[in-house]
Structure 1
Amino acid sequence: MKRLLLTMAALILALPLGAAELGDDGLHKTDWMRDTFKDLREDLAEAKSEGKRLVLLVEQRGCIYCTKMHQEVFPREEIDSYIRDHFFVVQMNLFGDVELTDFDGEVLTEKQAAGKWGLLFTPTILFLPEDVPEGHSAAQAAVATMPGAFGPGTTLDLLTWVREKRYATEEDASFQKYHARMIEQRRAE
């Protein structure tokens, strides 16, 4: 009996904290997502005013990979707190009809924006720079795009790589090389 109780306690403690709930639109909702008017220029300005980076998280109803991210990756304490502290996350529906205004001024639905940006998979995360050049769309301006679900280590490394602007350094311009180095460092610890 004691062994059973210890096993149950270990399983409960291993569960992610604060897993996302499904919203009325069938997408996962977390409290670090921002409910905005989806004018990306305004969202970028608000993110900058908070000292954060703008992120567009594109998902769809029934996406098993979105579920994986929301149940296994995003709730991990180190990832959840990193997102909260450093990113301004705006969720989009790959097939949504909510209007948004792209950085280039074009007003279109979420699904039209996804088509314009060439997005095919969910989840897809677009990481925006602090300043978007005039006339650029979100896809043109993105400093990185994460197409699909990745494990906790890759996700945290990408969040760090973007936040620390490693993409702009000669040593770490390649995320793959940066990530490989981080894997080696974790193994050495």
Structure 2
Amino acid sequence: MKRIWMAMIAALIAVPAFAAELGDDGLHKADWMRDTFKDLREDLGEANAEGKRLALMIEQRGCIYCDKMHREVYSREELADYIRENFFIVQLNLHGDTEVTDFDGEVLSEKAAARKWGLLFTPSILFLPEEVGDDQTAQSAAVAVMPGAFGVGTTTDMFTWVNEKRYALDSDEDFQRYHARRIQERQDGSTD
């Protein structure tokens, strides 16, 4: 009986509190993702109205790195809360057929949009500014692109760096310097 209880406790500990479930399309569905009509101009307007930053998360069915990010990184309560509070996330399927309207007005499938934007790997995240011109695409307007899977620290730092607008031209701390400083602060115990 004791072994059964120990196994049950171990199983509960191994499952993150915020693990995203798989949708019918085979992609992870976190509660902080938005289900929209994928008109990026409208999505940007909604994000701005909520005081949040628009980000496009491109994933694909069977992606082991997407799975790793959702199980090990996005499932962390602190990061999930930060994303939920500060970002308007629209998920796109690298091989999907759902129509997307880019900022330049072009209507195309998710897979065609990913090709247009030069996205080859999943997961990838495009972080958008608050204003995007009618002549820009999501890729050309992005203030940062996060291609691939990273650990909790790097991912948290990227979301924070974008949210705090540290990418601005007048900033003297690019992401690599910001991230290095944050790593040192965490090692020193001088930050969360």
Q: After TM superposition, is the score higher than 0.5?
A: yes
Q: CA deviation at 1:30?
A: 1.2
Once the two structures are TM-superposed, the CA of residue 170 in structure 1 deviates from its matched residue by: 2.4
Between the two proteins, the alignment pairs up a number of residues equal to 188
Is residue 105–residue 134 contact of structure 2 (8 Å, CA) maintained in 1?
no
Gaps of 5+ in 1: none
Deviation at 1:15, TM superposition (A): 3.3
3-state SS of the aligned residue for 1:166? coil
The alignment partner of 2:47 has SS state of helix
Letter in 1 for 2:52: K
Cα offset, 1:2, TM superposition: 7.2
1:123 and 1:72 map into 2 onto residues whose CA distance is: 14
Deviation at 1:31, TM superposition (A): 1.3
Cα distance in 1 between the residues matched to 2:4 and 2:110: 49
Structure 2 matches for 1:31-46, cutoff 5 A?
31-46=31-46
Is the contact made by 2:101 and 2:108 (CA closer than 8 Å) also made in structure 1? yes
TM-superposed deviation, 1:18: 2.0
TM-score by length of 2: 0.92
Q: Deviations over 1:99-158 (max 9, x none)?
A: 010000001000000000000000000000011123000000000000001000000000
C-alpha distance in structure 2 between counterparts of 1:104 and 1:66, whole Å: 28
What is the Cα-based RMSD across aligned positions, in Å? 1.7
* Match of residue 171 from structure 1: 172
Trace 1:1-189 onto structure 2 (pairs within 5 A): 9=9, 12-13=12-13, 15-168=15-168, 169-172=170-173, 174-189=174-189
Identity, in percent, stands at: 67
Q: Distance in 2 between matches of 1:3 and 1:165?
A: 51
SS of the residue aligned with 1:167?
coil
Normalised to the residue count of structure 1, the TM-score between the two structures is 0.94
What's the CA shift string for 1:81-101, capped at 9, x where partnerless?
Answer: 000000000000001000010
